[in-house]
Chains A and B, each alone.
Chain A
């Protein structure tokens, strides 16, 4: 097998590589980067107030830390509307609302979703829907700031409690209930 190497920043694709259809790979890779917003390894600055680092790409998860305006975070990956970032030694997820200047979801419709996973849950994936929604995760975030006494941590715990289908079916069967 003829091995190809790229040295010293020389990005010229060797002729044999091109002949074997390698240019298709180059284009595909470039397309993937473009669709993803070209975010990997990028440093983004938080420009919106009241932002948090979440353990999961979900506003319902309990925030790991507050991230102030002006903080720089390093992008690790992206999933739908969420960026996985490194911040102050922790890795977590931030919603793209924190970085309004950053690229949007791309101009190729559903393709990014096909390549990198669908936007997380229904909440904020559709900008048009976002514009039409009164009570959003952002409104909740502001409410939480104003009402620290409201016990959202326990509420998260309530919502995290799951009964899987098999367990429920067994419960129904044992109790002679209607399947």
Chain B
């Protein structure tokens, strides 16, 4: 009996000890050990970007109904992934996802972290798969360049960093409210940029340039973005909202795009892609 008890003693000690160090005490020590200056210098992490993107997406989906057309959703995802894997940022925290919004108004939104929405109206505006790929490659470039999260005001992000110092020293309650408020503000910043006001001209032109590179790498026609932009310009008269606000087509943008993609021979099998595009019920 005594021998048996001796055998079980280490086991009991181990079991009793498994409470170990308190979880938050580890966090507290960690927070105290990190100088604030070092923390303040850090950019938004991939997972933080993802949670901002999710909330922005959820807000967009409050305004626009999500298409339930599985065939169209699959097709848009396939085209989107075909370009994303050839972009400057082929992977994100939880991957790229594309979805169709049921709206006749042509528009597209890139949520931070990799969720991309295109409206049925934008797909209808495209003549072929290459033009849809061009629109998606442009949105992927906004994700890759972090144009969404970069629209969070610097003052707000600095406050997030400062708050985190105190946050880590407390359990999940207490000052958490202030982080939630800052999160709300960040969602507002991003939402206003990608849905209401649009990106800066510089961000748009960089995304155009990157999209042309991506299209070329993916095997799509690099001139397709210029073609789509040309169509938008032609239809611009009388159209004030939607994509004309979020991605304003200008003749200057078009000229730069033509210079960027000019001279390239159309890639092979364009016809095969156009055929599968035409088979869609848009």
A interface list, Cβ under 8 A from B: 11-13, 18, 23, 26-27, 29-31, 33-35, 37-38, 48-49, 60, 96-97, 100, 103-104, 106-107, 122-123, 127-128, 130-140, 142-143, 146-147, 149-152, 154-155, 157-159, 161, 163, 167-168, 171-172, 174-178
Contacts and interface: CB of A to CB of B under 8 A. Distances in A.
Nearest to A13: B4
Q: Which 9 A-B pairs have the closest CB atoms?
A: A30-B11, A176-B269, A131-B168, A34-B14, A177-B219, A151-B61, A150-B58, A178-B219, A131-B27
25 contacts: A11-B8, A12-B1, A30-B12, A31-B14, A33-B11, A37-B18, A100-B24, A104-B22, A106-B20, A127-B27, A128-B30, A131-B168, A132-B30, A134-B183, A135-B183, A138-B172, A140-B54, A143-B180, A151-B59, A163-B81, A171-B78, A175-B129, A175-B269, A175-B272, A178-B217
Contact of A158 (B23, B66, B267): B66
Interface stretch (B45-53, B139-147, B223-231): B45-53
B31 A131 contact: yes
Interface string B239-282: 00000000000000000000000000001111011001000000
B47 A133 contact: yes
A45 to B, nearest CB: 15
A27 B10 contact: yes
B193 interface: no
A158 B100 CA distance: 9
Q: How large is the interface on B (under 10, 10 to 19, 20 to 34, 35 or more residues)?
A: 35 or more
B218 A178 contact: yes
A31 B4 CA distance: 16
B34 A163 contact: no
Contacts, number: 215
B272 A12 contact: no
B89 interface: no
Contact of B27 (A18, A122, A130): A130
Contacts of A29: 11
A18 B231 CA distance: 83
